[in-house]
A and B are shown apart, each in its own frame.
Chain A
Amino acid sequence: MPWITLTILVPLAGALLCGLLAQSERRTATLVALATAGVTLVLSLVALGLFDRNLADLQLVDHLDWVESIGLAWDVGVDGISIWLLLLTTVLFMVGIGYACFRLPERGPAFLAMLLLAEAGLIGLFAAGDLVLFYVFWEAMLVPFAFLIWVWGGERRRRAGLTFVIYTMVGSLLMLVAILATAFIAQDITGQFTFNIAELRGVAFSETESTWLFLGFALAFAIKLPLWPLHGWLPMAYGEAPILVTALLAAVMSKAAVYGMIRIGVPVFPEGANNLAILIGVLAVVGIVYGSLVAWRARTMRMLVAYSSLAHLGFVMLGIVAFDVMAAQGAVLQMVNHGIIVAAAFIIVGVINRGTGEEDIDRIGGLAARAPWLSGIFLIVAMASLAVPGSNAFVGEFFILAGVFRHHAWLAVLACIGIVYAAVYMLRLYQSSMNHEERGIPAGRRQELGLPDLVALVPLVLIMLFIALWPASIVGGTRASVEAAVAPAQVAAGRPADQILVPVPRNPPAENLPLPGDETAADPATTTPGGQP
């Protein structure tokens, strides 16, 4: 069975179905959307069941030639990195669509269709094994998200949607150029024209080529992440989108960037990545500190969580550009953690906004007495978000920073400032809304979590607890792929041999290249005559 292809096509089909429904058929639309999201979730779980944790390469590959002459193909599959993001996507969209169905906005069927379209785009992105496919899905998911902001957003939704689209398009066009350049330059080197990511790994780009190509990709990723100081679209989009869409943007879409970095940027262009690693690392750390400070002083709850997301994603990026297996594995785990936590945090912010009709942090207080369940779950989420030891985010951040510390101790130490400020701003958010005397709570409204909220939040909290108790369940599955992904960059960074755990692919094979220190003894059969005594 082409499981991964099905996982992409099912939400797509669901989206078409929902899109074709008349806007009055809300009930049918919710049923279709729920069934679609459910089936997709089950399919992704099947993929997890079939997944072999010991393989580094893409698995469960569905290959279909499309335009062979120019190397286009439908190539989807999962590896130890993308399987978790695939699951994150299906789980969060299941939760999100379920949550949306309880409180369907105007033009509900279209809303659900857009959500499903976004899901299909994201799954395709995480499963793509081909640069062109990656690009197509990268752009495809932009469309539904733009519409979700544009049509269902807040007061300034037009401007926010437009900014979001244009700004991310600028980045992705650079990526398109980089993709084409990669294929052509690789053809010059290897004699074979391909967009296949696995085949492009190990292509011996010159250092300049590698740097420029990496830069093309990195800019797109940096904008999407967003990396400081390219985060200008974030407050606008996160602020204006419906809160559920904001949750999904922060939880899933932002992962596209870090995923691209560890899947394409670092393994395909190791030299370029190595040249820019410190720069990106510094920007990530600046983002961590900056995001934390601005989150601390944010006016609305939603902005606070939005900026905290900037800070948390800085950790993930830092973990990837450290070229350390531990840090990168931690980063993959942290992608999942951050997705779950930030989604829960935004849902809670939405609940508080709804229950009080107030967005400002400082105008409400004392909700804990009215809503003990809300305050309890919020506490867990807040603690997880500030990565208190014992939470799932702690596992991720701890090992990211432990890995970073091995190579750039100063970056890790500076990033720790963000940990302290995370405590400051999350406690500000929690205490000002839940503690103190009651204020700003309108009578006659329900502040406590309702059934829909519980249905959305309880699974997320359970997942957090599960990961906190047994992180090996995820981390173990990432090892093989992460080792293979960072090994070329480790070679480029000149790390000692004992840290490089897997052989690095070379394309064309090593013996054709006059590289200094090339170990001819490794493969005596291909040594040139006279090369060996």
Chain B
Amino acid sequence: MATTLGWIILALPLLGCLALALFPRHGEPPKGPVIAIGVGSILIAFVLSAVVFASMLAEDPSERLHVDSLYEWIDIGGVSVDLAIRIDTLSMMMMLIITGVGFLIHLYSVEYMDHDRDYRRFFAEMNFFVFSMLLLVMAENFVFLIVGWGFVGIASYLLIGYYYQQADAVRSAKKAFVMNVIGDVGMVLAAFLLVRELGTLDYSEVFARAGELGPESGTALAVCLLLFVGAAAKSGQMPLHSWLPDAMTGPTPVSALIHAATMVTAGVYLIVRCYTLFDLSSLAGDTVAVVGMVTLFLAATVALMQVDIKRVLAWSTVSQIGYMVMAAGLGLYASAMFHLMTHAFFKATLFLAAGAVIHALGGEQSLDRMGGLRRHLRVAYFAMGAGCLAIAGFPGFSGFFSKDEILAYSLAAGTLGTIGYVVGTVAALLTAIYMFRLLFRAFFGPDPDGGYAHAPHPSRWWMAVPLSILAVLAVVGGWIQVPFGWHLIDDWLAPALVGAPEISPSHTQEVVSLIIGSIVAVAGIAIAWYLFGADRERRLRLAGVAAGPRRVLEDGYELDEIYDEALIGTTRDLGDALTRDFEPKGAGGIISAPVAIVRGSARVLRAAESGLVRTYAFALIAGVGAAGIVIVLAVVR
């Protein structure tokens, strides 16, 4: 039953997308049916996911694994791949997040995209995204994982470039797509290695026989690192992160769903899904953890300096996923998934609240032209507040539990884990500062100089209701896993993480981490209040301090410039040089040689073709005569 419903859940968003894309009507169809199809398909998918979840709850934990194959997709060179889905506790959790958060964001979009010309295209592409993401998490083999991986890339490309008339949207879309293709190549190469070593791509078989790769072997390391290239590209980890902040050119609901709550966490899902492989190679796990640490720290510093409200959130997403990646690299798979879930709630809340602000201000995104919005947009204010408290790890809010879990467990995960704890704690302080900087600058203080060009108008219920629900989730979402209390996430994921290393902190570590975490959160909020809330002039007075490093931070360590120069520029020049020089002379030269020989010899020989019959006759007779003389001479001799 579970898998049948699973196929339906997978099919619904696809059908929604097709129905919207092929809507048999010239021009823009009426909004009613578009909303019904676009939002309805996701709602039904969510309800069905909940049903499957309920049925799985009723099952014995060891039986919570359902695999079903629809048909044999290909059988080639000894490798057989089925179109198959896998519903286990891990994919179930992802399905609930995708369809649940996805539904709320679809609902929100009904109002947010109200003014847009291509209403139907938006929902078609969003539905396509949900389908792709579900395929990614429900796939039972690496091929369809990669297919889902590629499809979410297309959806992300389309939605980043949704406003395709704007040059920067087009550019960001291309950048996102190409960087994700780099990630795809990593995944594909990992799959090649698996094909070569194990001759199969099915999860069940790969994980069952992963030991054949050899613990700590080079192959296992290569597989894991290549998979991680894909994960890093998708999840915006250094150095493949730079597309994610640029991806904010898409509509805000897109940023909330794809570039915060679901798609960008696919890398974390991938590592958790392949934990058997990562457990084979401690070096790979360590690399992942280090990349996560570097990312979470650097991204947090960059987020401090961003002026665009969405870019603050984008860099914070990079940073938060850094936490998850670090946790996954350290082997804290359940903690990573827990943070993935709470992050989906609070980051979606933050983005949607930011969206409410942007919508209310008619597209304004700069913090410099915001202020005092607390008085105009009550719902957005409360939601943003809840989200900020959650991400800052304020005690009792969801982020507190999940981030603390990662940090506390890191303490128990060896030396690298301890380093991770320190880095993560410092970054947590930065997180509290930059998030409350955003809150204080946008919602507190007086209105900006010259007032608002577009008078802020509060949102209607289409936007307010999903925002409120998500805000509530951002508050209470962490309560399902409480230290010294209960561990529902751990218990739920246990059947999908059989054999993963058991890392758990001692009571002292747990308590220390809880206390330090609370202090850090409060301190960060206090610093932000000191800098940005209490006295609005203080920020401007400090503006001249350390202008150089600040600019570096604003530009995200200027990695984009480096890429432009080093990678894109050189190969573009190479391409131009080849087109200009080699193509006409080199390739053209090879070809012109035989052509010139043929043409030249023809030019010489054409003299013989005089067109005069008598000349031909004479030549004929002369030829025969010559031949005759030769023969006679030969005979005589």
Contacts and interface: CB of A to CB of B under 8 A. Distances in A.
Contacts of B185: 416, 419-420
A173 to B, nearest CB: 10
Nearest to B185: A416
Interface in A428-444: 428, 431, 434-438
A293 B154 CA distance: 22
Given A163-B591, A423-B181, A401 B76 contact: no
B174 A229 contact: no
Interface stretch (A146-154, A272-280, A471-479, A523-531): A471-479
Interface stretch (B186-194, B313-321, B522-530): B186-194
Question: Chain B at the A interface: mostly helix, strand, loop or mixed?
Answer: helix
Given A383-B154, A416-B185, A326 B79 contact: yes
Contact of A298 (B147, B579, B594): B579
A184 interface: no
B594 A167 contact: yes
Given A167-B595, A436-B164, A297 B73 contact: no
A54 B165 CA distance: 53
Interface string A387-398: 011110011001
A403 interface: yes
Given A231-B587, A431-B174, A296 B151 contact: no
B621 interface: no
A395 B578 contact: no
A409 B191 CA distance: 12
B78 interface: yes
Contacts of B588: 232
B177 A427 contact: yes
B562 interface: no
Contact of B595 (A162, A394, A431): A162
A131 to B, nearest CB: 23
B291 to A, nearest CB: 20
A234 to B, nearest CB: 9
Interface in B514-568: none
Contact of A389 (B76, B151, B579, B592): B151
B74 A475 contact: yes
A233 B592 CA distance: 9
Nearest to A391: B150
A435 B77 contact: no
A44 interface: no
Interface stretch (B205-213, B469-477, B569-577): B569-577
Contacts of B174: 424, 427-428, 431
A471 B74 contact: yes
Given A325-B78, A416-B189, A472 B72 contact: yes
Nearest to B592: A232
Contacts of A398: 143, 146, 188, 191
Interface in A323-351: 324-327, 329-330
Contacts of A389: 146-151, 153, 184, 188
Interface string A359-377: 0000000101100000010
A437 B181 contact: no
Contacts of B599: 162, 166
A476 B575 contact: no
A142 B551 CA distance: 62
A290 B164 CA distance: 30
Given A231-B587, A402-B191, A436 B74 contact: no
Nearest to A474: B74
B113 to A, nearest CB: 17
A313 interface: no
Contact of B73 (A162, A290, A413, A471): A471
B358 interface: no
B595 A166 contact: yes
Q: How large is the interface on A (under 10, 10 to 19, 20 to 34, 35 or more residues)?
A: 35 or more
Contact of B147 (A228, A390, A437, A472): A390
Contact of A388 (B74, B154, B579): B154
A476 B148 CA distance: 24
Contacts of B149: 389
Given A389-B184, A423-B178, A435-B164, A167 B591 contact: yes
Nearest to A438: B165
A3 interface: no
Nearest to B175: A427
A354 interface: no
Interface in B49-67: none
B196 A405 contact: yes
A369 B21 CA distance: 15
Nearest to A223: B591
Given A389-B150, A423-B181, A297 B576 contact: yes
Interface in B145-178: 146-151, 153-154, 158, 161, 164-165, 167, 170, 173-174, 177-178
A324 B579 CA distance: 34
B188 A401 contact: yes
B195 interface: yes
A102 interface: no
Contacts of A390: 147-148, 150-151
Nearest to A407: B196
B178 A293 contact: no
A296 B575 contact: yes
A427 B574 CA distance: 19
A166 B602 CA distance: 12
A406 interface: yes
Nearest to A376: B21
A405 B195 contact: yes
A191 B407 CA distance: 80
B165 A329 contact: no
A368 B164 contact: yes
Contacts of A413: 189
A369 B165 contact: yes
Contacts of B74: 395, 399, 471-472, 475
B632 interface: no
A438 B178 CA distance: 24
Candidate in A293, A325, A476 with the most chain B CB atoms within 10 angstroms: A293
Contacts of B574: 293
Contacts of B143: 398
A395 B181 CA distance: 16
A394 B572 contact: no
Contacts of B590: 229-230, 232
B177 A229 contact: no
Contacts of A202: none
B449 interface: no
Given A290-B578, A294-B579, A395-B74, A406 B196 contact: yes
A424 B178 contact: yes
B598 interface: yes
Contacts of A229: 586-587, 590
Contact of B75 (A405, A421, A437, A476): A476
B182 interface: yes
Nearest to A228: B587
11 contacts: A294-B583, A297-B578, A329-B76, A379-B158, A386-B181, A388-B151, A398-B143, A398-B146, A398-B191, A402-B77, A423-B178
Given A390-B150, A398-B191, 17 more contacts: A167-B591, A368-B164, A369-B165, A388-B150, A389-B149, A389-B188, A391-B150, A394-B147, A399-B79, A405-B189, A406-B196, A412-B189, A416-B185, A419-B188, A420-B185, A435-B170, A472-B72
| In the A-B complex, the 4 residue pairs with the closest CB atoms | A326-B77, A389-B150, A232-B591, A405-B192
Interface of B: 21, 71-79, 143, 146-151, 153-154, 158, 161, 164-165, 167, 170, 173-174, 177-178, 181-182, 184-185, 188-189, 191-193, 195-196, 571-572, 574-576, 578-579, 583, 586-592, 594-595, 598-599
Interface of A: 162-163, 166-167, 170, 228-233, 235, 290, 293-294, 296-298, 324-327, 329-330, 366, 368-369, 376, 379, 383, 386, 388-391, 394-395, 398-399, 401-403, 405-406, 409, 412-413, 416, 419-421, 423-424, 427-428, 431, 434-438, 470-472, 475-476, 479
